[in-house]
Amino acid sequence: AAAAVGSSRVEKILWQRTGADGEEYLVKQRGKSYMHCAWLPEQEVAGEAGGPARLKRWAKTWEMQQAAVHVDEAPDGPTEKEPFPPEWVQVDRVVAEREAFSGGMEFLIKWRQLAYDEATWEAEEAVEDDEKVAEFRRIQQPPADERFYKSNKGRRAVRPYEKQLVSPEYRAGNTLREYQLGGLNWLSQCWHNGNNSVLADEMGLGKTVQTVAFLNYLHEVHGVWGPFLVVAPLSTLGHWQREVEAWTSMNVIVYHGNAAARAMIREWEWHFDADRGGR
């Protein structure tokens, strides 16, 4: 349970229960994350702007949910113990930080499975993910390599092509299989020769990993810092993100969502700007 929200506006109703003084509703507060959901009495929900209509709509939803539960049609739907997916209160990435009005620091958090336009500012002590905070601060550090501050347009190799006989060691000790190393060498050679290329291995052989390894080769060996644009089917975006994060130290941004979400990505994630939190 959480404290009452006072005059805060209700964004949506998530669940209901019968309390000592009548019906209570678990609500998400507008402009706040699911961490701050609160149980409110019916009269308080009804007193909000649009409250009676919201309660009427919820009553229909509640009736359908309870009917489905009784006939065991919704085993994976919301429950009293889990009225929303737990991922919605798990940090996907820290987007920015600032000094809070009340003192201390607060972070702009993008939550797992939620779009950027649902990101919220949270107090530093409330963000219980030291790994994500450390990763955010790592990518906030300006690159030390002077190549990152020079114009590097087009295909410019800083050294001649050299076939790699052994797989480089990637993040967390990952290495390429022999045939994947062959794919990396081929992509690298095509780039050095100025040739376009299509990697057409069969499904399941790791085309994504080989491509990520090639981008990392350009980034680490030749100082081509990007940005690299990967256009992929919606169903594979998460896979691409996981592979880049698992194999490299490059900062990966999934540019997807409605207009508000994409605008937020451009504002905070598109450019390296320590003062505004962008990369």
Residue 269 lies in a domain: no
Residue 270 lies in a domain: no
Mean pLDDT value across residues 210-219: 95
Q: Are 216 and 153 members of one domain? A: yes
Long-range Cβ pairs for the range 76-85 (8 Å, 24+)? 78/14, 78/15, 80/15, 80/17, 83/14, 83/15, 83/26, 83/37, 84/14, 84/34, 84/37, 85/113
Residue 206 lies in a domain: yes
Q: Are 172 and 229 members of one domain? A: yes
Give the pLDDT score at 5.
Answer: 45
Q: Are 133 and 223 members of one domain? A: no
Give the pLDDT score at 195.
Answer: 92
Residues 75-90 have pLDDT tens digits of 567 887 889 999 999 9
What are the strands, taking DSSP E only, across the chain? Answer: 10-19, 22-29, 38-41, 91-99, 105-111, 120-123
Residue 228 lies in a domain: yes
**Domain range spanning residue 53?**
10-70
Residue 257 lies in a domain: no
* Number of domains composing the chain: 3
Residues 160-176 have pLDDT tens digits of 899 999 999 999 999 99
Q: Are 157 and 178 members of one domain? A: yes
Q: Are 105 and 198 members of one domain? A: no
Q: Are 170 and 189 members of one domain? A: yes
For 7-11, 30-34, 78-82, which range has the lowest pLDDT when averaged over its residues? 7-11
Give the pLDDT score at 276.
Answer: 46
Give the pLDDT score at 277.
Answer: 43
Strand partners, 16: 25
State the DSSP string of 238-255.
Answer: HHHHHHHHHH--------
Residue 37 lies in a domain: yes
